[in-house]
Amino acid sequence: MKAVFIVYNQAHTEKVEYVLDQLEIRGFTRWHNLTGKGSDTGDPHMNTHTWPEQNCASLTIVNDEKVNDLLDKIRKIDEINRNVGVRAFVWDIVSMY
């Protein structure tokens, strides 16, 4: 099992939901109204007058077999508009209750 943490501009919310549905990934947790900036590229999303945009994040736990498909679809969303931004990070799940 893997944890996939997806951080994205709020404009991508429906696209991320669609990808999860497409891959039959039912369970996830979402956070709204997040602020931050990318480490290499992109504008800050700080929910201020200067940087008005903000992010969301979703965390899902998936079988190892779905990770590459999920990352490929997230990458395609990012390639459509790199200025808006979406990133995904993967961790091993050691145990789960």
pLDDT in tens, 30-86: 999 999 888 777 778 888 888 888 999 999 999 999 999 999 999 999 999 887 889
- Whole-structure pTM over 0.85, yes or no? yes
- How many Å separate Cα 60 from the centre of its chain? 10
pLDDT at residue number 14: 97
Tens digit of each residue's pLDDT (9 = 90 or more) over 3-40 = 999 999 999 999 999 999 999 999 999 999 999 888 77
Q: CB within 8 A of 87, min separation 6: which ones?
A: 6, 7, 8, 38, 74, 78
Q: Say if residues 73 and 25 touch (Cβ distance below 8 Å).
A: no
Indicate the CATH number of 2-92 among 3.30.70.120, 3.90.78.10, 3.20.20.20, 3.30.360.10: 3.30.70.120
Q: Say if residues 43 and 37 touch (Cβ distance below 8 Å).
A: yes
User: From CA 4, how far away is CA 83, in angstroms rounded?
Assistant: 22
